[in-house]
Amino acid sequence: MKDLFSKIGAYFMDTLETVVVALAIFVICYLFFFQVHEIKGASMEPNFHDSERILTDKISYRFRKPQRGEVIIFRAPKDRELDYVKRIIGLPGEKIMVSGNDVYLNDQKLKETYVPEKITNPGAFLTLNQDFLIPEDEYVVMGDNRTHSSDSREWGTVNKDDIIGKVFIRFWPATNFSFIPKVKYD
């Protein structure tokens, strides 16, 4: 009987050790490498939809700079408790101008194949038809659904320190599972 209790105790300790190690690995990955986010709202439609779950890579930007076309998660400028998801449009040092439904970078029209055809570009920060020079370590971000997006046109640039990471996997619902590529511009 004593031998039976000893085996049960050893099994329990092995199981507990496995659970503790797995939890430690999960916490380290969550804190430093990856984070799950939920899409809330329509600002990224038709490419991302409300209630979809995405995985954010939190480590890449420690080794390289964010790039145009990448979808990122960052702390919301108006409420630091919220995280926003938007696409990087303008990079530090670039000149940007919004004119009608178009975005111009360094006087060249940006070809955005992922944006619905009929969009509006209201802006309080980025004034229509006026050039804006993007400061160092700042990024201009916009939702793909420009008509229903609170973004840089309204509240300004996003500092590199406020970027949490880049979206790299959509995993829920499972039928929409996909890796998220960076958009390539002509």
**Neighbour tally for 66: CB within 10 Å:** 21
Q: Which of 40, 58, 65, 86 is catalytic?
A: 86
- Fill in the amino acid letter for 76: A
Q: Distance (Å, rounded) from C-alpha 106 to C-alpha 110? A: 10
Beta-strand (E) ranges in the chain? 34-38, 53-57, 71-75, 83-90, 95-99, 102-105, 108-109, 132-133, 138-142, 158-159, 163-172, 178-179
How many residues in the chain?
186
- Determine whether 43 is an active site residue: yes
Q: Which of 2, 7, 40, 43 is catalytic?
A: 43
List the catalytic residues.
43, 86
